[in-house]
Structure 1
């Protein structure tokens, strides 16, 4: 789902964001009863993969899904690698059977890299959405044969253009 239209069909407010529903699994919880920090990385990975990669059901692909998973599985020429990740946990994420609302956009896009920004909210439809975490992952586009960075194509840039906005500014202690 994207901000292009809301579920009710009304126009979005604010910058464009991809809204990606991500279900929790019972195993994502830790002994304290909330989502474990390592599980959060996996949830963000799931959202990122859905945002960038098309599967075998292209009808459900997001408009930003510029890479074809079947090409990757057969030794494709392009891949995305994570160069850095940062997460700011704002509240513990409790278990829910309803999917979290992971909002995603690009905070900066370079020649071969992009800062993918995430906000993890309580499930869509909550009267008062709760922001649980914010994160950034620096993704680098690479040639799979050489392992060297390669440039984003014009098609890829065009697909992501509507979802480029300011990067996340993290709170820093003592600064």
Structure 2
């Protein structure tokens, strides 16, 4: 009997995101709120890489509907950028989830500082309603899709 093929590995998109001195809190760590900015920076850079400059998913209309983040290790300010890996999950008719891992990216073993997930909804600002995903967008997201975020609370 032939062996079943191994599951496809998630195609994660890696984005270098610089830290800002102002990201630090009074304890010398990157503030928890600033992690959302790091994710936004990665998303904007990643979408240009995924969709190109001619098609901006951001300018076509997209809204953040939800964020979930799990902090795993303190991130201290440093000059080298951190690495954010991202991939699409749960692709629906008018939106999708975007998964992230915020990583050191330069050490061995590689430290994972946070895992997160953002729900994004395609939106038509002219009609103030969600809009359907077209085949071209779905195809790109499918190329960058993978498993849901491995949050620790989900393993219980």
TM bracket, shorter-chain basis: 0.7 to 0.9
CA contact (8 A) 2:9 2:146 kept: no
2: CA distance, partners of 1:127 / 1:114: 32
Distance (Å, rounded) in 2 between the aligned partners of 1:136 and 1:120 = 11
Match of 2:3 in 1: none
Q: What secondary structure sits across from 1:132 in the alignment?
A: strand
Q: Which is helix-richer, 1 or 2?
A: 2
> Cα offset for 1:65?
4.3
Partner in structure 1 of residue 50 of structure 2: 63
Residue 95 (structure 2) aligned to one of 85, 89, 113: 113
Equivalence map 1:34-53=2 (5 Å): 34-52=29-47
Q: How many angstroms does 1:125 deviate by?
A: 3.2
Write the distance in 1 (CA, Å) between the matches of 2:63 and 2:50: 21
- SS of the residue corresponding to residue 101 of structure 2 reads strand
CA distance in 1, matches of 2:66, 2:72: 20
- For 1:45-65, what per-residue CA distance to the aligned partner results, in whole angstroms no more than 9, with x for missing partners? 11111222x4xxxxxxx1344
Runs of 4+ in 1 over 4 A off after TM superposition: none
Aligned pair count reads 147
- What is the match of residue 158 of structure 1? 139
Equivalent residues in 2 for 1:1-175, closer than 5 Å? 14-52=9-47, 54=48, 62-65=49-52, 67-68=55-56, 72=59, 78-122=60-104, 124-172=105-153
Q: TM-score, normalised by structure 2?
A: 0.86
Q: Is the 8 A contact 1:90 1:133 kept in 2?
A: yes
Ranges in structure 2 where 5+ consecutive residues have no aligned partner: 1-7
Structure 1, unmatched stretches of 5+, are: 1-12, 55-61, 73-77
